[in-house]
Amino acid sequence: MNLEPSLPPDHVSIRSGRIGVLLMNLGTPEGTTYKPMRAYLKEFLSDRRVIEEPRWKWWPILNLIILSTRPSRKGKDYATIWNNERDEGPLKTITRSQTEKLAERLAGAADGRITVDWAMRYGLPDVKSRLKALLAQGCDRILLVPLYPQYAAPTSATACDQAFRALMEMRWQPTVRVAHPYYADPVYIDALATSIRASLGKLSFEPEVILCSLHGMPKEYLLKGDPYYCQCAVTARLLRDKLGLSAERFRLTFQSRFGPDEWLQPYTDETVKALAQGGTKSLAIVAPGFSADCLETLEELDGENREIFLHNGGKEFAYLPCLNDSEEGMQVIEAVVRRELMGWV
């Protein structure tokens, strides 16, 4: 009689022994027409991490007003930056490339046991499906990497929320880590400074002022304890010092405010207008809070704010690109991932 334990013949076979790295960013619509834009905006603006208004108050505003008019308007904005060759937003194109390049850089680590994937908090590819894909490939340890240098509840936290919701449905959960914000990491600051110097070197003019524009958030979120503003201020100060610029010439501002409430200040668009009207003739803007160029940088900063500056007396304007999938950008992502994988590899 065989007393050795044995598995039933219909036991599910589960692979294990690999390490997954999941890069996560905000998201992008599946198209620029009304229907995909509405679906994207509905998912985004229904997130309670993004809009903290009571549901009874926010639901009619969102569904009866915003989703009736905003999809068409934002669709036109997306159309100006759309990657027509791939039929997708630039954020998706760049994040895919970052993933592929990171996989190449990590190919020799952990005896080739690392799998790198990517997901978007809103839209596709979604977090749940990519976590399942990593599990199916045998990843029983997964590192979540929100691609936001500065932590904020409406960005980093909601990305993790989505991953944790997927984990709640799993009988066999992987071991999970979340990458720490890297707003003050020397590798990040050095990469930004190198990229900015290179971009400035390509200009035909020397900007009198450089705005360090980061995405805004309602001031109320700061007062509730969100560390985002403080981390943005640290990034701006370290970057200004690294570039050797004065506080007058390198200024922190906040963009993309939405709705009637007070947001973090000073506002980027109002600062741009005031500088132009005050006699500043040349201006550059850099957006270090974005790991990849997207609507908020390519359309809002390089489009809308360029127009504001030139229409109010400014003469020369430059938007300095994000780190994206450049050598400097990949050095940052690789450094963050290797740091967080310590003890696993």
Q: Binding site for Fe(2+): which residues?
A: 215, 296
The token duo for 56 is 């009874």
Annotated binding site: 215, 296
CA triple 23-160-47, angle to 5 deg: 115
With tokens 């619509």, the residue in question is 29
